[in-house]
Amino acid sequence: MKLYVVRHGQTNCNKENKYNGTLDEDINEVGIEQAKKVSEQVKSLDIDLIICSPLLRTRHTCEIINKNNIPVIYDERLEERNCGKLTNEDLGEFYYTDYWNYYSTASVDGLESIPDLFKRVRNFIDEIKEKYKGKNILLVTHGGVSRGVYFYFNEIPKDGMLHNFGTTNCGIKEYELND
């Protein structure tokens, strides 16, 4: 069973180095081109099902990359990490010191903790492993969720710093799900 993960195409928040979290924004022209480019790679994969975050940027990316008309399911557990009051704010030093530090105790109104995000992702993957046993699944999701998937298979660094483990816009990663 293979699990493929594609992050959505570029948005204006990505371009402007802002937190977008659960902001329901679309991909921009660069994001559309990124999705068209990765669609050729996705087209060649043996995928049985696509599970997509319901946010606009992932839905639009999914529409572009799904050239083989694979069945799509939308699942809220694949939504980006809620960044609370940081939504649409400029990324700053906090992004590199606390926002992606697994062990951070910083308090920001409405900010979903990384352990909570990773638990959501872990529960999701455990469920699809059983529900779709033997199937190849493509997730169309976000940078935070893609980190959660990565750390489902890998250990969290001792310092807890995760900002270097993100996926580029329309980057694709492949994982093997074993019983």
Catalytic residue among 79, 80, 112, 142: 80
Catalytic residue among 8, 25, 79, 142: 8
Distance CA 55, CA 42 (A): 20
Catalytic-residue membership of 130: no
Position 100, amino acid = W
Catalytic-residue membership of 8: yes
CB 170 within 8 A of CB 143: no
Q: How many CB atoms lie within 10 A of CB 125?
A: 19
User: Which whole-number Å values give the CA distances from 48 to 118, 123, 136, 140, in the listed order?
Assistant: 25, 21, 5, 14
Distance CA 153, CA 94 (A): 26
Strand stretches in 8-131, DSSP E: 49-52, 72-74
> Annotated active-site positions, please?
8, 80
